[in-house]
Amino acid sequence: MALTIIDACVNCWACEPLCPQQAIHAAKPHFYIEPTQCSECVGDFADPQCASICPVEGAIVDAAGVPLNPPGSLTGITPERMTALQLKRHAPTPLHVIE
């Protein structure tokens, strides 16, 4: 039973000081949870602390690979809308006609 930090991590450090088991370490390319130490906060807190402060959706997953903060849960932007927004961002800007 352990949580895992995956590639989406932005190395913001927020989780590191909160872990009651000191299982989280700064590492490359991103923070790392020592699986043998992680208790998922059972017995210490109602919610896993790392996942409760993590600002990035999908960056922390459980043993089954399911994100504790699924897409849309923190930003309120649904995955479909996020895709649309990103497409819009990368679309070529229309040329302005100068009079």
Partner 1 sequence: MTITVLNQGGKTALTGCAASSCGSSADALAQLPEALRAKINNHPCFSEDAHHHYARMHVAVAPACNIQCHYCNRKYDCSNESRPGVVSEVLTPDQAVKKTLAVAAAIPQMTVLGIAGPGDPLANPARTFATFRQLTAKAPDIKLCVSTNGLALPEVIDELCQHNIEHVTITINCVDPDIGAQIYPWIFWNHRRIKGRKAAEILIAQQQKGLELLVARGILVKVNSVLIPGINDEHLKEVSRIVKAKGAFLHNVMPLISEPEHGTFYGLTGQRGPTSAELQTLQDACAGDMRMMRHCRQCRADAVGMLGEDRGQEFTLDKIEQLDVDYAAAMVQRAQVHAAIEAKRAAPAPITPTAPLVTLNPQFRTSRPVLMAVASGGGGLVNQHFGEANEFLIYEASNRGVRLVGARTAGRYCHGPAQCDDSSAQRFAKILRVLAGCEVVLCAKIGYEPWQQLEAAGIIPNSEHALESIETAVAAVYQELSASGRFSVDSVATQRRSA
Q: Which residues bind partner 1 (CB under 8 A)?
A: 10-14, 16-17, 45-47, 49, 52-53, 55-56, 74-77, 82, 85-86, 89
User: What's the CA gap between 84 and 97, in Å, rounded?
Assistant: 26
Any alpha helices (H) in 1-99, and if so which ranges? 49-53, 79-90
Token representation of residue 99: 């009079």
Of the pair 36, 70, the CB lying nearest partner 1 is at 70
CB of 94 to partner 1, least distance (A): 15
Report the distance separating Cα 64 and Cα 35, nearest Å.
14
What amino acid occupies position 10?
V
| CB closer to partner 1, 29 vs 36 | 29
Shortest gap between Cβ of 50 and partner 1 (angstroms)? 11
